[in-house]
Amino acid sequence: MEQTLAILKPDCVRRGLIGEVIRRIEAAGFRIRAMKMVHLTKKEAEGFYAVHRGRPFFEELTTFMSSGPCVPMVLEKENAVADFRALIGATDPAEAAEGTIRREFAESKGQNIVHGSDSVENARIEIHFFFPSIELV
């Protein structure tokens, strides 16, 4: 079954939205296969988002992602990668479709509540960034 890596970002945790976002994820048919809370260092956030190094928002993004705890999780479902991207909506909440998690809760393009892998190959890499195989159930 296909898996994707989701992260409830520090704004989600800070605003007390973990429960509400997980409720929506489960209601959409995803099974949680691994989950934990971590506070990334700046270096770890830079490592996770290495593909964005050099982009104008890289500094803002990695400072934000290391600003407080976040909740990475492995989600499983048929077509998990694409279906999770559809559930969260576009990067910019102003452009996200009605009913999506970002449209409902995100405050800006930077502080947008949740991350979702953008391909099956990246999901595999991102899952192993956060979870050693012993933590994958």
Selected binder of ligand ATP within 57, 63, 95, 128 (CB under 6 A): 57
The secondary structure element, H or E, covering residue 5 is strand 3-8
Q: Give, as one character, the DSSP assignment of residue 70.
A: B
Closer by beta carbon to ligand ATP, 119 or else 137: 119
| Type of residue at 7 | I
User: Which residue out of 39, 52, 115, 128 is catalytically annotated?
Assistant: 115
- 122 appears as a binding residue in the annotation: no
Residue 36 annotated in ligand binding = no
Taking the complex as a whole, the smallest distance from the CB of residue 60 to ligand ATP amounts, in Å, to 5
Q: Which tokens hold the place of 109?
A: 């393009």
Binding mask 81-110 for ligand ATP (x = CB under 6 A): ----------x-----------------xx
Both tokens of residue 63?
């400072």
* Length reported for the chain: 137
- 79 labeled binding residue: no
Q: Is 52 assigned a catalytic role?
A: no
Contact 112, 70 (CB under 8 A): no
Half-sphere exposure (CA, 13 Å, Cβ side) for 1?
Answer: 11
100 marked ligand binding residue: no
Which span (35-43, 54-62, 66-74, 123-131) binds ligand ATP, by CB under 6 A? 54-62
- Asked if residues 11 and 111 have their Cβ atoms less than 8 Å apart, the reply is yes
Least CB distance to ligand ATP at residue 111 (A): 7
Could you tell me which residues are annotated as the binding site for ATP?
9, 57, 85, 91, 102, 112
